[in-house]
Structures are given as C-alpha cells and as structure tokens.
Amino acid sequence: TATAATKASMEVEGRKVEIFFFPFVGGGHLIPMIDLARLFASHGVKATVITIPNDITVFQKSIDRDQQTGLDINFHALELPADATLQNVDMSAPPMTDTSILQEPFEQLLIHRRPDCVVTDTFHRWVADVIDVIGIPRIIFNGNCCFARCCDENIKRFSPHKEVASDMELFVVPGLPDKIELTRSQLPIFVRTGTEFPGKSMRAEQNSFGQVVNSFYALEPAYVDYYRNVIGKKTWLVGPVSLCNRNLEDKAARGQKATIDENSCLNWLDSKKPNSVLYVSFGSLARLSPTQLYEIACGLESAGHPFIWVVGKILDDKDKENCFPDGFEERILDSKMSLIIKGWAPQLLILEHESIGGFMTHCGWNSTLEGVSAGLPMITWPLSAEQFYNEKLVTEVLKIGIRVGSEEWASWNMERKIVVGKDKVKAAVVRLMGGGVETVEMMRRAKVLAEEAKRAVEVGGSSFNDVDALINDINNYGS
C-alpha cells in the first residue's frame, strides 16, 4: 500500500492518477506487465490494463482478487474484428506478431479517457506515434535488465564483433564495468548484421518519458548506474515484479492454467528431499528440435538427479515420436523419481518449493529473475533474444550459475546447427546438483540475492521507492 508520505501525490487535480498498461501479447512480455499493473495499483494509483479479450480470461482471477482487497485495477478489452488473427494468440505468441489492428480502438480509448501516463511494450511498433500525438507521457517496458541493455548498446555503439576473424572467436564488450566476453555466434542476428529488430522504431525509445525495468538495484548496481549515467537512459527499477504474487492461487495460474494439477505437483515436491530437484524449463516461446530434446532426456536421465522437465512446444511436430529414448517416459512415470510436464507449468510455485535445488533455464529475463528471487543456482542454456547476455550476468557477474555450453543464437522457431549433446547436459547437472563446494557457494550467493530482492519490494526498499518516484514524476510531468 502507498506510504503516507506519497499518498498525496497519487492525485492530480483532485482525481486519482491513472496509468494505462498496454502489454504485448504472449508470455514473456504479457506476464510481467500484468504484474506491473498490479504493483502500481498496490501503490495507490488507478491501473488499467489495455488488452485483447483472450488475455483477460487468463488473468481475470488475479485481478478479481486484487479488486476484492480494494485495489483500483481494471481491464479494458480492445475490440477485435471476428476474423482478426489476434483472436487466437496464446502465451507463445512471437515478438513479430503484428498488433496494428489494435491501433484504431486504442487511439479512440486514449482520446476518450486521457490517462496520466501509458506504460507500453516496445513490441507494439506503431504505438509511440499514436500516444505522442495525443501528448500523454509514454513509458517503455521492454522486458530486459540493465546489464543486457548495456551489452546491447555498447555492442551497437562500438561494433567489437566486427574486429574478430570468426563467429566463434571471443571479443570483449567495450566500456562495461566488468570484462564481458562474447562471440558473434551468441549475438542476435539483427545485432550481428547491424540491422534494426524488424519494424522496431528507434524513435519510440528516444522520445519516451523513460523506461520501467523489471530488476532491482542491488542485483546489478554497476550496470544500473552505467545505463543511467553513461548511456543516459531515464530508468525506474521496480522489480522483481513476480513478487507481487503472494498467494498460492496467483502463483499457480500465472499466465495460463497449468497442465498439471498444482496439488499433485506440490505433493510430489513434498515427497522429495530439500534442494534435491532440478527444474528444467525453456520459457513460453522457444521450440526445441526432437534431436535436442532427445539429448536432454538422455543427459537428465543419466545424471541421476530428480528433475521436473517442462517440455514446451516442439520445433518439428512431425518427428515428435523421436523426442525421447525408448521407454523414457514410462521409466520416469514408474519410478516417480522425476516429473515431465507437457505444456504449461506453475513455475513460480515450483521454483519457490524447498525441494528445488537448481534451475536449468533458457535465461529469459523473467525466468532468470524468478530464479534469483527463489534463491536458486542455475544451469544456463540461452537460445535467443538477449538470453546470451543474461547468461553472462548469471555466471560471471553474479556467479550463481554454470553454463551448459550453448554457443549459438537462433530465432525461437529456427533449427539450430549445433545441438548440445547429452554428455554436456549430464556434466552440468552432476556439477550443479552434486552438492560440491562450488554449488554450496553459488547457493549461498543466490540466497543473499533472494533476500535483497524481497527487501527491494518491501516498504522503503529500492524498487518500492522507484515505483513512488515514477508516480511523482508523472505528477510533475510538464510542470
């Protein structure tokens, strides 16, 4: 709830400050934006989530619960023509999804309601112009942490990747607080080739009022300072936003209904020893090939540690019989040693259970931060987007994870040339879950960060204060 000192500033001209939150469709961007809206509502503003009917059903219950506790939070569904492709998007909608069909109803809504500010996702590529013409302060949410933004900015600015002779040769990202080395093969294709992310408007970022970031100061202080002071971006750090999910219901159905009953999942976890289970997930979007899934299955099974493996969508569905070794699923089911979840997992609930001792992750920023908030050491397996930067943060700056050895950036729906073999998978699992000195030390560091994450969002914490600071800045906008 809002502090007494800031309560007064929740009002402009005698009415409550109203912020529109306009999330992009799909998991990794939609989920944190809903949390963001709930977080701001808990600081006393009127929060309205502007979205499509499909997405409302997914989050309706959490919003209902918030309303029952007195928060001023609502949805507004933009009308879609019956035949619009957006009618059928789900949690795995890719970043290229064209949302411009929403432009007309969104514009009308803005003119009619005139909120005090709009927080919008960068993947709505048309939205900046619409908001700027009407003259409402516009804040960007792009889902990344400051570390990844700093890597991205400095690679674009200094082009160190053009100085190396091959795609596999290491180069140093210039200017950063730490020595961060990457290879060209780990860079997004549009960074490698010097082109812009398709359809993305640079102007949208330059003319915005600032950026809201799902991170917290103590996690990456040198990079927050660098991003603010050297790169020069106005930034409010308000995370981890997932920590606003405080009860079991919110954690169990985040984003979509889980394909496993949460109670049977929790009962299974209860039957395991503390810190003994590895949670394996590659997020909402990535599609792995049957060949890669086969290697993961062999590696996980031979490592001999219990796991929960969330098998998401498969790259080549035709070949899906060949994803697992003979009898693999039956052995898992019969032994009860591990769990396979096909579809959607109640990730927050699982990560926070005391039986979980490690997280094999694709380093999507939400998952990474959820792992940090749960105090877990990680096995990093980046695939696309800015995930190779996040891997560096986890393994080399925070020192709470080890690499599986993923070397090749590829778009979420592309076949990779390099498959990570079962031996590498097994070696990483044995190293992380084997309980050696290295893991104990990583676990200790991860627990410290988890405590700092919780402190950041509590009253008086750095993220709590940044939410209030942003609300104040909205109040003072133009004065």
**How many residues at the interface with ligand UDP, by CB under 6 A?**
20
Q: Is residue 186 involved in binding ligand UDP (CB under 6 A)?
A: no
Residue nearest ligand UDP, CB atom distance: 28
Least spacing, CB of residue 63 vs ligand UDP, in Å: 17
* Closer of 117 and 310 to ligand UDP (Cβ): 310
Least spacing, CB of residue 282 vs ligand UDP, in Å: 7
Least spacing, CB of residue 384 vs ligand UDP, in Å: 7
Could you tell me the two tokens for 59?
């989050």
Contact 2, 16 (CB under 8 A): no
* Closer of 204 and 252 to ligand UDP (Cβ): 252
For tokens 């893991």, what's the residue?
439
Give the x-and-dash track for 287-326 against ligand UDP (CB under 6 A).
Answer: -----------------------x----------------
Give the x-and-dash track for 18-57 against ligand UDP (CB under 6 A).
Answer: ---------xx--x--------------------------
* Closer of 11 and 249 to ligand UDP (Cβ): 249
Report which of 136, 166, 124, 102 is spatially closest to residue 33, judged by C-alpha positions: 124
Least spacing, CB of residue 361 vs ligand UDP, in Å: 7
Least spacing, CB of residue 94 vs ligand UDP, in Å: 10
Least spacing, CB of residue 36 vs ligand UDP, in Å: 12
- Catalytic status, residue 124: no
Among 9, 48, 185, 284, the residue binding ligand UDP under the rule CB under 6 A is 284
Contact 124, 52 (CB under 8 A): no
* Closer of 27 and 137 to ligand UDP (Cβ): 27
Could you tell me the two tokens for 10?
């929740």
Question: Which of 29, 161, 305, 362 is flagged as catalytic?
Answer: 29
Among 245, 281, 373, 465, the residue binding ligand UDP under the rule CB under 6 A is 281
- Name the β-bridge partners of 138: 118
Q: Is residue 185 involved in binding ligand UDP (CB under 6 A)?
A: no
Stretch of 164-172, 215-223, 280-288, 436-444 contacting ligand UDP, by CB under 6 A? 280-288
Question: Which of 55, 66, 116, 121 is flagged as catalytic?
Answer: 121
* Closer of 25 and 345 to ligand UDP (Cβ): 345
- Catalytic status, residue 121: yes
Contact 147, 389 (CB under 8 A): yes
* Closer of 254 and 426 to ligand UDP (Cβ): 254
Stretch of 100-108, 284-292, 352-360, 391-399 contacting ligand UDP, by CB under 6 A? 284-292
Stretch of 112-120, 190-198, 278-286, 329-337 contacting ligand UDP, by CB under 6 A? 278-286
Contact 168, 183 (CB under 8 A): yes
How far apart (Å, rounded) are the C-alpha atoms in residues 207 and 159?
A: 24
How far apart (Å, rounded) are the C-alpha atoms in residues 456 and 74?
A: 26
Least spacing, CB of residue 279 vs ligand UDP, in Å: 10
Surface-to-core class of residue 56, CB atoms within 10 Å of its CB (0-12 exposed, 13-18 middle, 19+ buried): middle
Among 115, 188, 255, 371, the residue binding ligand UDP under the rule CB under 6 A is 255
Least spacing, CB of residue 34 vs ligand UDP, in Å: 10
Site for ligand UDP in 349-408 (CB under 6 A): 364-367, 370
Residues belonging to the active site: 29, 121
State the residues that interact with ligand UDP by CB under 6 A.
27-28, 31, 254-255, 281, 283-286, 310, 344-345, 347-348, 364-367, 370
